């Protein structure tokens, strides 16, 4: 399973006041809040952690069928600046995050080796949905393949496991 999430930093800055009272408490654990307040760029850290949680939530939702607002149940850990893990209910997921001037983009996988199999898909790709979950049909094999799509503001990213 895979998931992804992208944050348009200009739009996030405009629409989300992450410094308002109670925002961090609703979304981030105490350890994550400490990472935010001690980061060189606290705003980027907020959206870094958020995108990682969202990408993993997409996998968790597909695996369990549970749809709920549960950001505090997803806890982020770092291996390095862009590589990390997220724990939820005893299960570990793996993340890779790319931080650019205009966006923060995270890919999450249920297994580390999936990162080697991920391919981007074009915005024009025919995407089907069943129960709100996107998939494509491989033109050669006719097999359904899981897709993860994310869009925010000016940005759109889609990925598939090949």
Which domains are seen in the chain, by residue range? 2-161 (3.90.470.20)
Confidence category of residue 51, pLDDT binned at 50, 70, 90: very high
Interaxial angle between packed helices 42-64 and 30-38, expressed in degrees from 0 to 180 and rounded to the nearest 10:
150
What's the average model confidence in pLDDT over 87-100? 96
Look at residue 82 in the predicted model and tell me its pLDDT: 87
Look at residue 81 in the predicted model and tell me its pLDDT: 73
Whether the predicted pLDDT of 116 surpasses 80:
yes
Whether the predicted pLDDT of 157 surpasses 90:
yes
Q: How far is CA 54 from CA 26, 60, 88, 143, 151, in A?
A: 14, 10, 12, 27, 12
What's the average model confidence in pLDDT over 10-32? 95
What's the average model confidence in pLDDT over 62-76? 91
pTM of the model: 0.92
17-21's contacts with Cβ under 8 Å and 24+ in sequence apart are 18/43, 18/46
43-49's contacts with Cβ under 8 Å and 24+ in sequence apart are 43/9, 43/13, 43/18, 44/9, 44/99, 44/104, 46/18, 47/7, 47/9, 47/12, 47/104, 48/97, 48/99, 48/104, 48/106, 49/76
Whether the predicted pLDDT of 80 surpasses 80:
no
Confidence category of residue 34, pLDDT binned at 50, 70, 90: very high
């Amino acid at each position: 399973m895979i998931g992804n999430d992208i944050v348009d930093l200009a739009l996030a800055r405009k629409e989300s006041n992450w410094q308002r009272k109670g925002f961090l408490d609703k979304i981030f654990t105490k350890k994550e809040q400490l990472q935010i307040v001690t980061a060189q760029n606290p705003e980027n850290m907020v959206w870094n952690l958020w995108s990682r949680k969202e990408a993993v939530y997409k996998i968790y939702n597909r695996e369990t069928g549970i749809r709920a607002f549960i950001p505090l149940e997803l806890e982020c850990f770092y291996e390095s600046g862009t590589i990390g893990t997220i724990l939820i209910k005893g299960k570990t997921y793996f993340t890779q995050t790319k931080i650019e001037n205009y966006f923060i983009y995270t890919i999450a996988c249920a297994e580390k080796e999936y990162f080697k199999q991920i391919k981007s898909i074009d915005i024009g790709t025919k995407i089907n949905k069943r129960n709100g979950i996107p998939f494509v049909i491989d033109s050669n094999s006719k097999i359904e393949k899981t897709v993860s799509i994310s869009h925010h503001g000016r940005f759109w990213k889609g990925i598939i496991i090949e």
